[in-house]
């Protein structure tokens, strides 16, 4: 039983997962339509393990925009990709960005972004 407990703790450990790291986020635009540029670092190793997307969330966790990466960036680290036309309701001053790995899923990192006026 002890071996099983240790094994389960190891497979659930975030240290074993290789989540993308959000290095920077920039926002352009005012009003309800914004453009986001997100810089990620990830140990992309090929088609079976790469950072395949990121999304912008409001404070309630609603998805405001999603950017899909269609291929690995093995030799391009860190890398920046943009998404325009993200609708952010009037009155929202803070959003969060999180990144996804095709193999490990959503990372726990929520990158907080203060929106320009």
Q: State yes or no: pLDDT of 10 exceeds 90.
A: no
Q: State yes or no: pLDDT of 14 exceeds 70.
A: no
Q: How far apart are CA 91 and CA 44, in angstroms?
A: 37
Instruction: Tell me, yes or no, whether 74 lies in a domain.
Output: yes
CATH code (residue 74)? 2.60.40.730
Give the range of the structural domain holding residue 61, as residue numbers without chain letter. 19-114
Instruction: Tell me, yes or no, whether 89 lies in a domain.
Output: yes
Q: State yes or no: pLDDT of 2 exceeds 60.
A: no
Q: Angle at the Cα of 93 (from 90 to 96), degrees rounded to 5?
A: 115
The strand pair at 33-41 and 51-57 is best described as: unpaired
pLDDT at 41: 93
| pLDDT (average), residues 37-65 | 95
What value does the mean pLDDT of the chain take? Answer: 86
Instruction: Tell me, yes or no, whether 4 lies in a domain.
Output: no
Instruction: Tell me, yes or no, whether 2 lies in a domain.
Output: no
Instruction: Tell me, yes or no, whether 12 lies in a domain.
Output: no
pLDDT at 15: 45
DSSP per-residue letters across the chain: -HHHHHHHHHHH-TTTS---EEEEEEEE--TTEEEEEEEEE----BTTB-EEEEEEE-TT--EEEEEE--S--TT--SEEEEEEEEE--TT--EEEEEEEETTTEE-S--EEEEPP-
Condensed to tens digits (0 to 9), the pLDDT of residues 42-53 reads 998 899 999 999
Q: How many domains does the chain have?
A: 1
Does residue 117 have a cis peptide bond before it, meaning omega lies within 30 degrees of 0? no
């Amino acid at each position: 039983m002890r071996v099983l407990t240790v094994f389960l703790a190891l497979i659930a450990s975030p240290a074993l997962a290789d989540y993308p790291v959000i290095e920077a986020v920039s926002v352009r635009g005012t009003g309800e339509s914004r453009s986001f540029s997100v810089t990620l670092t990830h140990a992309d190793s090929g088609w079976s393990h790469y950072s395949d997307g990121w999304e912008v969330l409001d404070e309630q966790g609603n998805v405001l925009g999603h950017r899909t990466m269609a291929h690995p960036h093995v030799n391009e680290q860190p890398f920046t990709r943009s998404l325009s036309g993200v609708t952010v309701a009037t009155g929202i001053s803070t959003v969060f960005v999180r990144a996804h790995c095709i193999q490990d899923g959503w990372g726990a990192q929520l990158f907080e972004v203060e929106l320009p006026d």
